[in-house]
Chain A
Amino acid sequence: DVKVTQSSRYLVKRTGEKVFLECVQDMDHENMFWYRQDPGLGLRLIYFSYDVKMKEKGDIPEGYSVSREKKERFSLILESASTNQTSMYLCASRGGRRGPSNQPQHFGDGTRLSIL
């Protein structure tokens, strides 16, 4: 069965810290995504990657960066954490090459991040 694993379910960090959220998928998927989920705002795409070492900005990339050194792993980095980055972070992966696709996304269980 498909598996997307996020390294932490809950994380508490301090303002100004550099924070790493890790995501690993075991499906050999080309595409990986990072979202944040906030009440009343739904899912918002932060960054995505369609291949190793490739990345593209989503809708809200400010304050974040990503790294994809291996196909199975996609890391989200908060360069200098701020309180407005307190949120639920969801990682997802999807098969299929760039272009028309009907493949669904597979999600991890999320990381609830609190910045104090």
Chain B
Amino acid sequence: GNSVTQMEGPVTLSEEAFLTINCTYTATGYPSLFWYVQYPGEGLQLLLKATKADDKGSNKGFEATYRKETTSFHLEKGSVQVSDSAVYFCALLTGGFKTIFGAGTRLFVKA
């Protein structure tokens, strides 16, 4: 079946450090891939998405590239800020209704 695996957290970084959060997936067909972010006390919000192989999604300095050959969609940011502290969810959507979410990775950024 379809599934998403993302690296366990928490991830703790200093401000201005480079961020990578790994995400790999298993899916039939050609899924769309998403990263969502959840700030403390809030619901999830879309961070970026990619809908086909080799697409790069980007937003707020974050990037992720849809790699079909490695079934991956790793999230990266060149220089994190304290305000990026949150939980990040990788997700996929194939034909149908259900979005499959990863378990989430908590990021702490220290000043």
Q: Which among A50, A92, A99, A109 is the interface contact of B41 at CB below 8 angstroms?
A: A109
Q: Decide if A56 touches B97 in the complex (CB within 8 Å).
A: yes
Measured CB to CB, the nearest residue on chain A to B98 is A45
B43, B89, B96: the one contacting A4 at CB < 8 Å is: B43
Which of A13-21, A63-71, A72-80, A100-108 is the contact stretch?
A: A100-108
Q: For residue A58, which residues in chain B have a CB less than 8 angstroms away from its CB?
A: 98
Interface centre among B43, B51, B104 (most CB of A within 10 A): B43
A40 proximity list for chain B (CB < 8 A): 103
B interface, CB within 8 angstroms of A: 32, 34, 36, 41-46, 49, 51, 89, 93-99, 101-104
Residue ranges of A at the interface with B (Cβ–Cβ < 8 Å): 4, 31, 40-43, 45, 48, 50, 56, 58, 90, 92, 94, 98-110
